[in-house]
Amino acid sequence: MRGQTQLCSLQQSRGFAAMAVVAFHLTIMLTLPRYLGQEIFADFTRRGNLGVDFFFVLSGFIIAFAHGRDIGRPDRLRNYLMRRFVRLFPVYWVYVGIFCVLVAIGFGTAATLPDTAGHWISTVSLIRLDNFVFPIAPAWTLVHEMAFYLVFALFIVSRRSGMAAFALWMLGCLLLREYPDYADWTPRTTYLSPLNLNFLVGILAFYGWTHGRPIVVKCAFVVGLALLIAIYALEAGGMLYSRLQIAYAVAFGLIIAGAAALESDGQWPSKVRLLNLIGDASYSIYLTHIAFLGLLAKIMMGLTAHMPVPPKLFYISVFVGTVACGCILHLLVERPLVEFFRNRLAGRSEFPLVQQKAS
């Protein structure tokens, strides 16, 4: 089954990562005085932002999975770039465009619009030019994705050149070792962030899955979970995240490789429709969740003025509503838009754009 065109375990794990990020931001939001002013489920969600670390590892795995056979084949470069473009930009442009229009007409209390040509270029191209905060805040992670896609393109042009460029990039990220605050990201700290090492871990996880002994790789899932729990305990005990970031990435890589091996052996619950839907919708959920969290929290605050709503029910309602809205956007906007561009570009490409969820 290693020749299969999609892995439900990857989609489902992507959905769990997106929900972890949603839960993390919701807990923070509800501590604000204009909402509940208290922490809800903080013991379970305080490190939900590790979903971003997981996303980066998963991206390395997915790109190797979807394009590993393109390495050293420059004739495949155009197809690769088109597939990456279709997966990343059209949906993002629609969401950021709608968001900017809403902010311009007065919606959004904390959001800001790009105010210089450089900021607009960064917003549209996902290439960081300064420490600009993107209109859709989670888009900062797409800058890392964009950089990884472009560097991986060098592998397709030339295996040797790609290897050299990627090795130099990873070395720079390893040597810099800076973890700035969210608003202090610069081009240097973004493109040389240790978080980019997660892409390498994902690629290694893919090759571990494809070349390792199946019985051993399947055990990697349990080993990865155990390692994740141990690392989390160390951080809870006071060890700095900066000293544990790579260990987290390794744990996620083991989990991903193990999940892929289990699914390949028919031991993964791949037919759970709700999990598959959330996984498919993870990009829409991730990009829009902050906006929907704010909107739904305001609606719930209005309800509390007329009837008592327990804080935990408040939290669950906003969380479920946000995930549901992301799924609806996926069905009504993201999926039709991606299929439209894939069909249009496939007709112009020498190679068909494979309908591959994992890509």
Spell out the per-residue pLDDT of the chain, length 359, in tens: 444 557 888 999 999 999 999 999 999 999 999 999 999 999 999 999 999 999 999 999 999 999 999 999 999 999 999 999 999 999 999 999 999 998 888 776 567 788 899 999 999 999 999 888 899 999 999 999 999 999 999 999 999 999 999 999 999 999 988 888 777 789 999 999 999 999 999 999 999 999 998 889 999 999 999 999 999 999 999 999 999 999 999 999 999 999 999 998 888 887 788 999 999 999 999 999 999 999 999 999 999 888 888 999 999 999 999 999 999 999 999 999 999 998 887 665 544 444 444 45
**Helix 273-280, helix 8-30: angle, nearest 10:** 70
Q: Is 222 left (phi over 0), alpha (psi -120 to 50) or beta?
A: alpha
Sign of CA dihedral 126, 111, 325, 11: positive
Tokens of 359: 């890509």
Residue 108's pLDDT is 65
Distance CA 12, CA 270 (A): 8
Nearest in space to 156 (alpha carbons), one of 223, 77, 97:
77
Distance CA 183, CA 19 (A): 23
Q: Model pTM?
A: 0.92
Residue 266's pLDDT is 84
Single-letter code of the amino acid located at 168: L
Burial of 280-300, coded b for 16+ CB within 10 Å and e otherwise, reads bbbbbbbbbbbbbbbbbbeeb
